Structures are given as structure tokens and as C-alpha cells.
Amino acid sequence: MTDAPLVCDTTIFLYLDRVGLIGLLPRLFGPICAPYQVALELDMGRMLRQDTLDPRILTWLQIVEIAQDDLDRLPSNRLGSGERAVIAHAISRGSTAGLDDRLAREFAESLGLHVIGIVGLLLRAKEAKLLEDLRPHLDHLRSQGFHLGEDVYREALHLANEAL
């Protein structure tokens, strides 16, 4: 585990939970937080699918309020409220931003943030010997509806030293 703080968006919690890997987060990072906006997005998800994670049950997760001033300081963008809140909190606290949406990642990186997504988290877990193989987890993510482009899939397997 690193002492680097991590603030995550909805997608990371949603899909890591759906594939049974949510427990990797506290083994890789500390502390971990989610903006209140992300918790609300997951709450809305439970209206459509009852097995959607309630982040309040995660004892290692801190749900945080994001100051309106921090949100207002962000450059103009078209991101969702959860993604904006993740980026604003990461900037104000020097945290790593856990983001999977390409536009959100590019925006965060343009602001100088360190960004990690689900694939990066899984690669880090394999490096830490918390996962034996990457491929079955990538395939499971895809089977749960996680969009993973073929180029990213192949690059992840290459980085994990797994055959294509």
C-alpha cells in the first residue's frame, strides 16, 4: 500500500464492486475518499440496479464534501458533477484522481494531476502480487459492461507480461 491519497469517481467503485475487486483499493492506497456527488450517483444507480454499491458501507472510505469555491476554480468543462468533484478535491488535497472517462482523464492531466483508472489499478495490484493474472479480470470487467477498447486491453496485457 502507498500513503498516496486517492479520490475516485463513480465508475471505479461501480465496476470494481461488480467484479468483486473493490477490496483492492484499501490495499493499494490510503486514505481513499469519494465526493458526496459520487455517492449520490451510486445512490441513483441503485434505483436502476439494486445490487449497485452503497459506498457508505465501506469502512475504509471517507465521503467528502467539496467546497463550492474549489469547484468554481476549475476551468470551464463539460464533465459530470462527480468527475468535477473528484478533480476539484484532487487539486485541493494533492490526491491521485481515480477517473476512467477519457475526457475527464485528459482534463485532469491537463491540470497537472496524477490520474489512475481501473486498468491502472489492476496493473498496480498485479505488480503488488494481489492478482495473479490480469486477463480474467479485464474480461470480467468487459462482461459487466465496462468499456475497454481493444488497444487499451492489448497494452494492459503487454504491460502485465501476459500473452495476447
Domain boundaries defined on the chain: 6-131
Statement: residue 29 has pLDDT above 70: yes
Task: Give CA–CA dist 62/58, Å, rounded.
Answer: 8
**Closest to 37 in 3D by CA, of 6, 69, 73, 71:** 71
In tens, the pLDDT along 42-69 reads 999 999 999 999 999 999 999 999 999 9
Mean pLDDT rounded to a whole number for the chain: 96
pLDDT at 21: 98
Cα 1 to Cα 11, 59, 131, 136, 157: the distances in Å are 22, 17, 14, 23, 22
Position 56 scores a pLDDT of: 96
Q: What distance in Å separates the CA atoms of residue 55 and residue 40, rounded to the nearest whole number?
A: 10
Mean pLDDT, to the nearest integer, of 78-90?
A: 97
Alpha carbon dihedral 125, 126, 127, 130, in 10-degree steps, equals 60
Cross-strand pairs, 62: 33
Alpha helices in the chain (DSSP H): 10-18, 24-28, 36-48, 68-72, 81-93, 102-110, 118-127, 135-143, 150-159
Q: Domain 6-131 is of which CATH architecture?
A: 3-Layer(aba) Sandwich (3.40)
Its pTM surpasses 0.75 = yes
Evaluated on CA atoms 91, 93, 94, 95, the torsion sign reads negative
129-154 per-position pLDDT tens digit:
999 999 999 999 999 999 999 999 99
pLDDT reading at 86 higher than 90: yes
